[in-house]
Amino acid sequence: MYLLDTNIWLERLLDQDKSEEVRLFLDSIPSQLIAITDFAFHSVAIVLCKLQRTDVLKSLIQDAFIEGSVSLIHLEPEDIYRVVSVIENHKLDFDDAYQYVAAEKYGIELVSFDSDFDHTDLGRKTPREILNR
């Protein structure tokens, strides 16, 4: 199973430089093997609404959750102790630490374009790295 970081979703939804890489990944991996944290989902929603792209947000909801089987995962309040520990130990910001702890807690692979994860125990993979396996 793969936990997709916020930047993966935004890359595709906003048709940025690596959008095609993300499209190939999403087309190749069954949606039931993909997860997003509640934090990442809400972050994507905030960005899309701020950019007045609510049409894209509605499409994401339809494609990922209604027609697809993307898992929405969350951390419990007591998990935030671990988030703080990851912030202190790996020098990640809160949103990255949240993704890290979620991947750790659920035992799933973190997919991100953010190199800040490279110096952590879990690391990260890009969509291309997963497709090239």
Give the pLDDT score at 102: 98
Q: What does the pLDDT average to over 91-110?
A: 98
pLDDT digits 0-9 by tens, 3-30: 999 999 999 999 999 999 999 999 999 9
Query: For the chain, which domains are there?
Result: 2-131 (3.40.50.1010)
pTM over 0.85? The answer is: yes
Alpha helices in the chain (DSSP H): 6-13, 19-28, 38-50, 54-60, 80-90, 94-106, 127-131
> What torsion, rounded to 10 degrees, do the Cα atoms 101, 30, 113, 125 define?
70
pLDDT digits 0-9 by tens, 39-48: 999 999 999 9
In this predicted structure, the answer to whether residue 133 has a pLDDT above a threshold of 90 is no
